[in-house]
């Protein structure tokens, strides 16, 4: 890992962590069905405090905890905002979350109920960079894909903001979200902090003649 200055203590925040076998890009919607006690308690605490939690990508272990099998996860994750909560029956909570910003984990600890907590630092916002001419086909194809996907019924809008199809960061995040890539490759795209480089890597994978991700 590249060297970096140690974050000041006031820059660190402790968030509950939710390890998943997926990568959550900022701006993406994440529906969850929760039944483990540690996550039912987490959602209740988040609702009472008006806070979110962090989603991290599993590298070892399962989403549902198995005794004797430790969970390990990647060092960069996504803070989520909770947009909707439903409790259809006792012991089951349905949650719709939205990826907000990326963070890096500085330290972790695990509560007695199995919930992971992480001391994290928010990563700086990515710069606004115009999509270059040679990658305009990615904007066109993504507009077609989002138009089709947004027409599908959903309790919460798939994307709750104006489509920034000429912004390298937003556009590359949508491609990372929708492309059917291996988990490790998806995470590598996600962890990049250079939006133009991320979009160029997507361009290497997507032929101009394709019509949708």
Position 137 pLDDT exceeds 90: yes
Same domain? For 93 and 154 the reply is no
Helix (H, G, I), strand (E, B) or coil at 28: coil
Task: Report how far Cα 133 is from the mean position of its chain's Cα atoms.
Answer: 28
Position 173 pLDDT exceeds 90: yes
Position 1 pLDDT exceeds 50: no
Does residue 6 lie in a domain region? no
Q: Over range 152-176, report the average pLDDT.
A: 92
- pTM over 0.85? The answer is yes
Does residue 5 lie in a domain region? no
Same domain? For 111 and 149 the reply is no
pLDDT at position 9 is 44
pLDDT at position 66 is 67
pLDDT at position 2 is 39
pLDDT at position 68 is 64
Same domain? For 113 and 161 the reply is no
Same domain? For 188 and 96 the reply is no
Of 98, 122, 146, which closes a domain?
Answer: 122
Same domain? For 105 and 147 the reply is no
Same domain? For 115 and 141 the reply is no
Same domain? For 22 and 109 the reply is yes
Position 65 pLDDT exceeds 90: no
- Domain that residue 151 falls in: 133-205
What does the mean pLDDT of the chain come to?
90
Q: Using alpha carbons, list the distances in angstroms from residue 48 to 43, 52, 92.
A: 9, 11, 18
pLDDT at position 3 is 43
CATH of the domain at 30: 2.30.130.40
Same domain? For 78 and 164 the reply is no
Same domain? For 34 and 59 the reply is yes
Does residue 95 lie in a domain region? yes
Of 92, 122, 152, which closes a domain?
Answer: 122
pLDDT at position 11 is 61
Which residues neighbour 32 within 8 Å (Cβ) at sequence distance 6 or greater? 18, 94, 95, 96, 97
Does residue 3 lie in a domain region? no
- Which residue blocks in the chain are alpha helix, DSSP H? 37-49, 136-150, 168-178, 183-191, 195-205
Does residue 4 lie in a domain region? no
Of 84, 102, 122, which closes a domain?
Answer: 122
pLDDT at position 96 is 96
Which residues neighbour 11 within 8 Å (Cβ) at sequence distance 6 or greater? 121
Residue, of 71 and 6, whose pLDDT is higher: 71
Position 212 pLDDT exceeds 60: no
Contact 169, 126 (CB under 8 A): yes
Q: State how many domains the chain has.
A: 2
Position 211 pLDDT exceeds 60: no
**What are the structure tokens assigned to 129, written together?**
């960079």
Q: Over range 90-104, report the average pLDDT.
A: 95
Position 77 pLDDT exceeds 90: yes
Same domain? For 39 and 17 the reply is yes
Q: Tell me what percent of the chain is helix, strand and coil, each rounded to the nearest 5.
A: 30, 30, 40
Same domain? For 144 and 108 the reply is no
CATH of the domain at 165: 1.10.4060.10
Say if residue 122 is exposed, middle or buried (CB neighbours under 10 Å; 0-12, 13-18, 19+): middle
Does residue 46 lie in a domain region? yes
Does residue 90 lie in a domain region? yes
pLDDT at position 153 is 86
Q: Over range 47-59, report the average pLDDT.
A: 95
Same domain? For 67 and 168 the reply is no
């Amino acid at each position: 890992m590249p060297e970096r200055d140690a974050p000041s203590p006031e820059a660190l925040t402790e968030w509950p962590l939710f390890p998943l076998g997926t990568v959550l890009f900022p701006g993406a919607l994440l529906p969850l069905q929760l039944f483990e006690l540690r996550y039912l308690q987490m959602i209740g605490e988040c609702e009472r405090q008006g806070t979110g939690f962090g989603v991290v990508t599993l590298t070892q272990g399962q989403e549902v905890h198995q005794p004797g099998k430790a969970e390990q996860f990647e060092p960069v994750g996504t803070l989520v905002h909770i947009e909707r909560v439903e409790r259809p029956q006792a012991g089951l909570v349905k949650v719709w979350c939205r990826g907000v910003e990326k963070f890096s984990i500085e330290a972790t600890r695990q509560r007695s109920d199995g919930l992971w907590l992480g001391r994290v630092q928010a990563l700086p916002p990515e710069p606004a960079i115009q999509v270059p001419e040679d990658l305009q086909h990615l904007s066109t194809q993504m507009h077609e894909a989002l138009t089709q996907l947004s027409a599908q019924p959903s309790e919460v809008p798939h994307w709750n903001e104006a489509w920034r199809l000429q912004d390298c960061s937003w556009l590359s995040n949508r491609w990372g979200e929708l492309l059917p890539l291996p988990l490790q490759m998806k995470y590598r795209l996600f962890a990049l902090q250079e939006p133009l480089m991320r979009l160029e890597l997507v361009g290497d994978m997507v032929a101009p003649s394709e019509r949708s991700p």
